[in-house]
Structure 1
Amino acid sequence: MKTTLLHIKNMVCPRCVEAVRTVLEKAGYRPTEVTLGEAHLDEHTPADPAAVAPLLREAGFDVLMGRAEQMTEQIKGALVEYLEHLRTARMPLTTSAFLTDRFAATYSHLSKVFSRTANLTIEKYLIRLKIERVKEMLSYNEMTLSEIADQMRYSSGQHLSNQFRQVTGRSVSEFRRELLPKRLSLDQLA
């Protein structure tokens, strides 16, 4: 079956997949598959990306037109998966090894495309991503800072604490004291 493929920006979690599916179905499209960053539409309901874009924009998503934008969003999705890999793997891969395994390109190429499109390096984006995950873990108040540092593969609680302050502008203690800690959605990181 022939399908129309749309590349979609700001899809970072399973709820985003469901939200995109719902938007497309309400608009009369029949998605055959929706995954992070992509939607495949049935050939009987071909979609013009320009017509779909405003509908998705209302829900916080964007249709990607250029190859560099598409690759950048795919890298962002892979980095979200990499965070889970970091937490669960006994011997985790390096960021570059993980990404080059995923994409048929060198890390140098991926890094250049990402930096040009996102105006941020892959490394800095990954740090922001990790800090958002740390904020989430801190807000649950179930683990010590050392446990979080271990799980997120920081060399020490102090290293995590220093990086947290660099990224957020405040200490972990200050963050914990706030009644409603401010977290960023993943699409706001770059």
Structure 2
Amino acid sequence: MATIKINIKNMVCDRCKRVVAEELENLGYTVLQVGLGEAELSTTNATVDLERVREVLEVNGFELLDDRKTQLIEKVKLAIIELVHRAGEQDSHINTSSYIADKVGLDYNYVSTLFSSSEGITIEKYLILQRIERAKELLVYDELNLKEIAFQLGYSSVAHLSSQFKKVTGLTPSHFKQIKDDRRKTLDKVQDQ
């Protein structure tokens, strides 16, 4: 038995992991583990039909990542998404650059330069976009007030959240909450503004 790890773009939630696992099993592979951005397979021969895997993934909105640079960029994005979604559970004063460097196992300056040149956006800007998208989600849920949302996302104040929210969306959080129709994007499309 051979163990093979594949990297996959656009996997940002538990539902994504479930879909990928099901599709890989339908192709006849034994799925050992599926995490955000990757899957580990066991196969009787030493190879995986990557073209078949690629086709199945693309039909479901995912992309097979082949080169190391693309895989690294995807790891950074997943680390940022994880950081934003777990912000309320962790110390809100976590050092983003240290967190990302630890998650990807490389020097932050190198990762930051590579990310900017590849994506045309800084890691900081990508983080802001993700935080604002999470704020939109929390506003739509209507379970937390703005102060609680600001705290959960690690903002120093409601004013800071409101300022960034307006810069990104053109709306105040309260105005967004009033119109909340069709203003949200899927996490993999956040950069395409």
Do Structure 1 and Structure 2 share a fold, with TM-score over 0.5?
A: yes
Gaps of at least 5 residues in structure 1 are none
Match of 1:8 in 2: 8
Cα separation, partners in 2 of 1:5 and 1:90, compared to 1, 3 Å: closer
Distance of 1:176 and 1:103 partners within structure 2: 35
Distance of 1:89 and 1:55 partners within structure 2: 36
Gaps of at least 5 residues in structure 2 are none
CA contact (8 A) 2:7 2:37 kept: yes
Match of 2:90 in 1: 89
Match of 2:77 in 1: 76
Runs in 1 of length 4+ with deviation above 4 angstroms? none
> Residue by residue, what CA displacement relative to the aligned partner does 1:101-146 show, whole Å, maximum 9, x if unpaired?
2232111011112122222211111111101110111011122112
Alignment-mate amino acid for residue 89 of structure 1: Q
TM-score between the two structures when normalised by the length of structure 2? 0.91
Match of 1:18 in 2: 18
Structure 1 SS opposite 2:88 = helix
TM-score between the two structures when normalised by the length of structure 1? 0.92
**How far off is 1:179 after superposition?**
5.2
Alignment-mate amino acid for residue 121 of structure 2: L
Structure 1 SS opposite 2:87 = helix
**How far off is 1:174 after superposition?**
2.1
Match of 1:146 in 2: 147
**How far off is 1:15 after superposition?**
1.0
CA contact (8 A) 1:139 1:181 kept: no
Report sequence identity in percent: 40
Paired residue total? 190
Alignment-mate amino acid for residue 48 of structure 1: D
CA contact (8 A) 2:75 2:104 kept: no
Cα separation, partners in 2 of 1:48 and 1:134, compared to 1, 3 Å: same
**How far off is 1:43 after superposition?**
2.4
